[in-house]
Structure 1
Amino acid sequence: MHGTIMATLAAPIATSFNSLPLLAWLATAFLIGQAATQPLSGKLTDIFSRSSGLLVGNCLFALGNLICGFAEEEWTMILGRTLAGVGGGSLNSIATIIASDFIPLRQRGLWQGIGNIFWGLGNGLGGVVGGYINDTWHWKIAFLAQVPFTLISLIIIWFQLDTIRSNSPSTPMNGRASITRVDFLGSFTLVSALALLLLGLTTGGNIVPWTHPLASVSLPLAAALLCVFIFVEQKIAREPILPLHFLRDRTVLCACLTNWFFNLTTYVFIFYIPIYYRARGASTTQAGAALIPFSITFPIGSLGAGIITTKTGKYKHLLRAILLLMLLGTIASCTNRLSTPLWPAMFELAIVGLATGAMLTVTLLALISAVETSQQAVVTSLSYVFRSTGSVTGLALASAVYQGVLESDLWTKIGDQTNAADIISNIKDSLDEIDRLPNQLQWAVRSSYMVALRATYMTTAAFAVMAVVSGLLIRELKLHSTLMRDDDGGATKGESFGRYDDQMR
């Protein structure tokens, strides 16, 4: 629910602070927090336990929403979104890891789909509820209302601690022994590199020019720290926080890249469809309702993929169909115009939701079947690194394209007006300003928004093509029916690593 609430409320929040560029920060602050914590979740919960990770994640998520609910300044809002991202990111990855601890590969996709039904229900309601709360009361209530639900989650986890611990693959050591296993240097360099990378991508071309030190310094520094991280993981760390040798496996690498390209495209859709609706004159509630098809088809795609893989034990042909669906949805979005009815955008979002839900299930199966069971948590964290950085990169690139094209087209259409600079500045900072313009200018401004949105979706279509390429390179691996993967004539745990479909008879 949190994701679509934020997608619906992003424009009203930015408008209330009189800063439409804040739109990029509202999304990316959360995703930067995700990117900083998700790569660490797998290894840290191997060391300190899954239950501890869930408890800490819930606390941080609640604190972040509480800060957002009381925010009076932009920086406070960004801080709250970052903390919520840290908590939410860890909850996403740890929940996925725990499910893999409990469920054999052959049934894993089915249960992933069942879980995504609840995810879809929450997201389907989130957009409408967020819009209704904003239109009826205030957007801050939407953040504060999430805190009690997080506390309920904490209570449930507390009563299930023994069950979670008993099914984890390893038993945590005492405090001192656990601390010595943590790869502090690798963790620091990875988190710093990701934070600086996403900071540069988010601010460059959106909030400050690319030549500004915030962008021109952070990106090279991120590259340098990434090189240091690779050296640390390869040469120094006793227990690497994120073993990079997994990326030498073609299936692991291509599954991660497919996640990256899909999430890049999907997040652009989720955050810019409401802007498309608002630019067309729709209310915030109507813009939120536009996200319902995505929230319906996402779990359908995930559950459908789970059922198919459970019955057949294969996923390669299914993956090809998923890639084609995603490509069709993104290309169709590039044809939208001001004169186009609103429903095609909802249909395109439904196609993207169906493809994305199915893709996440299939690539998760490919990833965890490519490694030994003892490494499932770490490789799951690796996939979340690609998901979260793909999301942020997509929103940063989309925002750069959107803001640049919008400003250029506005100057072309209304640059000869008196006080054109002030008018354009106000329009870029608040969508509500469109309705306050004279009738003869409103159509020109709305058409500029449409030009910018179309350029944004054309960019995502190019990345969808890359998703097709990486997805087609994923190999078929055996989906075992037992947790120990000993259902193929006595094979032991981890023995199936690298055993591809053309070797299975």
Structure 2
Amino acid sequence: MTRPQAKAGVTEASPLLQADEHKPSYNADTVPIIEESSDGCIIEVVTSSSTTTIENASAKTLTDEEIVSKRLNGASASVVMVGLWIGVGLAALDGSIVAAIYPQIGTEFKRSNEIVWIATMYLLSYTALQPLYGRISDVFGRRTALLFASIVFFIGSAMCGASNDLLTLIVSRTIAGIGGGGLNTMSAVIMSDLVSIRERGKYQGYANVAYSAGSVIGAPLGGIITDSIGWRYCFYINLPLLLLSLYVAICVLTDYNLTENRNTGSFFERLKKIDYLGSLAVVVTVICFLLATSMGGNSRPWSDPLVYGLLIFSFFSGAVFCYIEAKIAEKPLMPWKIITSRTPFACAMTNFFSVMGSMSVTFTTPIFFQGVLGYTTSQASLFFLPKVVALTCGSLSAGYWMARKGEYQKYITFSTSMGMIAMFLTSFWTTDTSFSFIILCLVLDGFSSGSNITTTLVAMLSCVEHSGKMASFFFEFYKLYTFVKHIKETFFFWENITEMATTTSVSYLFRSTGGVVGISVISTVFQGTVKKLLTERITGPNAKEIIEIARKSINEVRTLLPPDALAIVLDTYETAIRYSFYLCVFMSVLCFLSALFIQQFTLASKIK
């Protein structure tokens, strides 16, 4: 009997050699081999390097339940999941709750034309540092990374509620975003350690229910809280709810991945594994882009050297980031071998354009309801409730579909086409549009968005696992069975498996970047259109004052402007919103086209 093929059926956090008190001892002539049985369970085989038989081998099989129990020290997986999902929901809530209240905050501070920064700075820090958490958790442990994110988010939320001016609020939102991005990423990373790829879709569906509910319920909840007790409590509400996430990080979780992987090195050696240059490059890229799009056509003309200079430097910094990831970084934020493959890149771009379009609609719709139709903050926020339900249904439907069918390619095509239809219908909104039509558009958009963020992540992870097994197969086929070959083979596969956490971070990077860019671009289109049209339509001695009120105090135009000027302003709002929705249609088309390049891979049914 020839020696069976050695397969690497371990998870990203599993040890190369399982430590167990019942493990048989072996001498220098024996070689431990990590294998996978036909049913997907992990088997550790100890055999002689000089023989081609396994009759004298000793094997120990670990079931999925034993793997999870060992990693959680017997703690309930349900408690861990709930704690993680609460953190995900709160991070998403903090990103969307300003959708309904930012007109009110801008009016209070008399800076409505600049208020978009309280949204974009949160999403910027949320996005820019999010991919770091995958590497940080590999280097310093899952518990340490989650605890850091929870504490920072707690501090940032408290500071937001206590802010007394726009600058302080923007800084506080930036701090909260650093923690929020970590809560979101670590939830996905830890979940990857506890469930199989095939079941991951279902559990990711639950996580996306929390994310989607937080993303969309933030608008109506923010409106109700603002009208009843004030906008500051929209941020204070995070503090008591975050206690369960803190409990999980402090009392339940451990740095189990460091325990399993004993070759962690010293503290300074682990610090060297973090991609600082890549992190700096991606932050500079996004900041320069946001500064350029926020100023261009708003406070400065697009022909201003500062505006186009920032745009040019943004693209240059982006190119530098790609070079760093491909050629310099030892442990890159965005592994080049993954992102340059067809399906992972298609998944990333589908995620990017999907969130870009959906978040753009989320931040444009309140202006339509409040500015054009004249609803109060709480009344306008109620229109988001159907989207919350649709997001939940879309995410769960996608998860159960993949768990049952083991398929995602056709489902992604279906959900992205639905999103394209939703955006197309939304572009027809006017003051005479019926409520039923508006709700239909929001429901279609919500179902599509919830489905997309679930399926693209699972599809991306399945590619990483598949590529690792194929590489291992060809390596096995061409090399001899020697001790040296076994060590190289195990190291090579461990490198692929540790990319699972990083791949999750990359997926979240594209998702968050889509939200940041979407909000920034839509705000630029809206503000630029309003400024241009009002300058053309309103003349006379009071023109400058009227334009200033229309741009900085959207919620008060009905009380501050005379009837003739008000009619012009409201018509201008409607036109600017329609142009913004046209851009959302373009985003949805790009999302659909990106999804067509996604390939189908097998979804494993066992924990790896």
With 276-285 and 113-122 compared, the bigger mean Cα shift is at 113-122
Equivalent residue number for residue 293 of structure 1: 386
Q: In the superposition, relative to structure 1, how do residues 192 and 123 fare at CA in structure 2: closer, same or farther (>3 Å)?
A: closer
Residue 257 in structure 1 maps to residue 380 in structure 2? no
Which residue number in structure 1 is paired with residue 147 of structure 2?
55
The runs of 5 or more residues in structure 2 that have no matched partner are 1-92, 466-496
Q: Give, in angstroms, the shift of residue 308 of structure 1.
A: 0.8
Distance 1:181 1:416, change over 3 A: closer
Contact 2:198–2:403 under 8 Å retained in 1: yes
Is 1:428 aligned to 2:551, yes or no?
Answer: yes
Report 1:61-460 matches (<5 A).
61-123=153-215, 125-162=217-254, 165=256, 170=261, 172-212=264-304, 214-279=306-371, 280-372=373-465, 373-413=497-537, 415-416=538-539, 418-436=541-559, 437-460=561-584
Contact 1:301 1:357 in 2 (8 A): yes
How far apart, in 1, do the equivalents of 2:389 and 2:320 lie? Answer: 43
**How many angstroms does 1:71 deviate by?**
1.4
CA gap of 1:208–1:45, structure 2 versus 1, over 3 A, is farther
Which aligned runs of 4 or more in structure 1 are off by greater than 6 angstroms?
A: none
Further displaced range: 69-78 or 302-311: 69-78
Cα deviation, 1:161-212, whole Å, max 9, x if unaligned, reads 23x6269974654423311322333333333333333333333334433344
Instruction: Write out per-residue CA displacement over residues 193-240 of structure 1, whole angstroms, 9 at most, x where no aligned residue.
Output: 333333333333344333445533333333333333333333333322
Q: Would the aligned equivalents of 1:330 and 1:464 in 2 still touch at CA under 8 Å?
A: yes
Partner Cα distance (1:342, 1:419) in 2: 36
Within the alignment, does 1:469 sit opposite 2:593 as a pair? Answer: yes
> Structure 1 299/416 Cα, relative in aligned 2: closer, same or farther at 3 Å?
same
- The alignment's C-alpha RMSD in Å is 2.1
Classify 1:332/1:60 alpha carbon distance in 2 versus 1 (closer, same or farther; 3 Å): same
CA distance in 1, matches of 2:515, 2:503: 19
Query: Do 2:212 and 2:450's aligned partners in 1 also have CA atoms closer than 8 Å?
Result: no
Does structure 2 conserve the Cα–Cα contact (< 8 Å) formed by 1:64 and 1:81? yes
Letter in 1 for 2:171: L
Number of aligned residue pairs: 482
Amino acid at match of 2:339: L
In structure 1, the partner of 2:31 is none
Q: Secondary structure, in 3 states, of the residue corresponding to 1:256?
A: helix
User: How much does 1:417 deviate?
Assistant: 5.1
Q: Which has the higher helix share?
A: 1
TM-score by structure 2 length? 0.75
What is the TM-score normalised by the length of structure 1?
0.90
Larger radius of gyration: 2
In structure 2, what is the equivalent of residue 36 of structure 1? 128
Tell me, yes or no, if the aligned pair for 1:275 and 1:287 is still in contact at 8 Å.
Answer: no
**Contact residue 297 and residue 350 of structure 1 kept, 8 A:** yes
The C-alpha deviation readout for 1:129-179, integer Å capped at 9, x for no partner, is 3212211222112212322322442123211123x6269974654423311
Distance 1:184 1:23 in 2: 31
Gaps of 5+ in 1: 485-505
Residues of 1 paired with 2:514 and 2:542: CA distance? Answer: 39
Question: Matches of 1:146 and 1:206 in 2, distance apart?
Answer: 33
